Amino acid sequence: MSEANSLSPKPADRLQRALVALDGLSVGDAFGQQFFIPGMRESCLIGRRPPPPRWRYTDDTVMALAVVETLKQHGRIEQDALAGRFAERYSQEPTRGYGAGAQKLLREIANGGDWRTLSRALFSDSGSWGNGGAMRAAPLGAYFADDLQLVVQEAALSAEVTHAHPEGIAGAIAVAVAAAWCCQIVSAAAPNGREMLQAVLEHTPESATRLGIEQARDIPLDEWEYTAANLLGNGDKLTAADTVPFCLWCAAAHLDSYADALWAAMHVEGDIDTNCAIIGGIVASSIGGSGIPAEWLRSREGLA
């Protein structure tokens, strides 16, 4: 993916790209969340029947909405504004599945705390290395897809508000670059997933997450998803390094089919909603909004 490209940098065009990725992310998130309902996995596997509506989304989508709102208002990641939006949305709907660390952080921000101090203080002053920065990064990558340097810079700023550890930041950068690359090839007849993984590697900082992406690049894209997940992780540990490499591999293997990508992610279980959110945002950026099954889009609850 070249740094100079023909994608429009106009705010309206950038926002439209971000909204496509947001739809892909939110439908994926809501789809994946259904499989934590007892018995849902077994009832849907035969014949690949989507879960019955309505699909409720999680904090993954709520935080992605805050990212898109910040981009719409400021044209960039204004970190104080983003932190405020995260905290406000959490206060309005605290039962969207936030992790314990995120709940503590967002409550303290809502009470007037400084995210700069609070984010770095998490996990014994190391900052969070979880997958939360990555789960919301695809719309940002799509927004800045006309300028890859900005993708890397703004993804790092977005992650830092809640995930100050280098691993959390690396995961966000990797997902954002993947979505940006996909925006470039949205009209390609046969998108090359291996080229996407290589582009991501070229821009992801040295980290355990990057090492996992290197491993993902070397796994054949027609490999069984269980094999890939066994090698790369499936998000069970909730870390960027355990989540992002498989998500990128799964997206790369299914850049031309949103449904195939998400069913593959569901099969390997783990952090299914976050995996599907990451993969959905990337693949939607590759195939465009029309590639998201209309039935699935209708099944997701409305974005608020």
Give the pLDDT confidence of 122-143 residue by residue, as tens digits: 988 899 999 999 999 999 999 9
Looking at the 3D structure of the chain, how many domains does it have?
Answer: 1
CATH number of the domain enclosing 270: 1.10.4080.10
Give the pLDDT mean for 76-89: 98
- Is 220 part of any domain? yes
Inside any domain, residue 281: yes
In a domain, 50, yes or no: yes
The verdict on residue 304 lying in a domain is: no
The enclosing H or E element of 287 equals: helix 272-287
Instruction: Inform me whether the pLDDT recorded for 170 exceeds 60.
Output: yes
What's the whole-number average pLDDT of the chain? 95
Q: Which domain covers residue 256, as residue numbers? A: 11-299
Do 111 and 54 touch, CB atoms closer than 8 A?
A: no
CB 258 within 8 A of CB 267: no
Segment 36-58 shows an average pLDDT of 94
Burial class (CB in 10 A: 0-12, 13-18, 19+), 244: buried
**Domain membership flag for residue 276:** yes
Is 19 domain-assigned? yes
Residue 5 has pLDDT above 90, yes or no: no
Determine, yes or no, domain membership for 6. Answer: no
What's the whole-model pTM score? Answer: 0.96
pLDDT exceeds cutoff 60 at 187:
no
| Residue 3 lies inside a defined structural domain of this protein | no
The pair phi, psi for residue 300, each rounded to 5°, is: -70, 135
* CB 27 within 8 Å of CB 297: yes
Residue-wise pLDDT for 216-245, tens only, equals 999 999 999 999 999 999 999 999 999 999
Position 124 scores a pLDDT of 87
